[in-house]
Amino acid sequence: MVIKIRPEKREEYKKLHASIWPEVLDLLKKANIGNISIYYKDDTLFEYLEYSGADFEADISILMANPVYKKWLKVCDACQQPLDTRKKGEWWAKMEEVFHCD
């Protein structure tokens, strides 16, 4: 997934992730989301994650409905500027996988 970062919020975003709220980590784990990495270059953020559950939609619904996670997203979203080319309903824009090998 890809998104832009507001340049004036760059350091705030990095600090947020350097000391991520423990509840958020627990919620992600419960949603079967792991091996999460976020990378930065030229005011662009790239996120990679792996889902290991059986029902992604259900896990995401529970995660998104959680008040702590909503609060976390609110502070993160304020640092981000979504791409104009994102699809309807997206915040982070999903990318097309053109290659994968284990």
Backbone angles phi, psi at 2, to 5 degrees: -135, 145
Letters for 31-60 (x = contact with a copy of itself by CB under 8 A, - = none) are ---xxxxxxxxx-xxx-x------------
Q: Which residues pair with 2 in a beta bridge?
A: 46, 93
Closest CA to 49 of 40, 61, 39, 64: 39
User: From the list 7, 85, 88, 89, which residue makes contact with a copy of itself (rule: CB under 8 A)?
Assistant: 85
C-beta of 85: minimal distance to a copy of itself in Å? 5
Place of tokens 């627990």: 26
Q: Is 99 one of the binding residues for a copy of itself (CB under 8 A)?
A: yes
Q: Is 9 one of the binding residues for a copy of itself (CB under 8 A)?
A: no
C-beta of 23: minimal distance to a copy of itself in Å? 13
Sign of the torsion angle spanned by Cα atoms 100, 96, 59, 3: positive
Q: Is 74 one of the binding residues for a copy of itself (CB under 8 A)?
A: no
Beta carbons within 10 angstroms of residue 78's beta carbon: 11
Place of tokens 């919020």: 9
Which residues bind to a copy of itself, rule: CB under 8 A? 2, 13-14, 17-18, 20, 25, 28, 34-42, 44-46, 48, 83, 85, 93-102
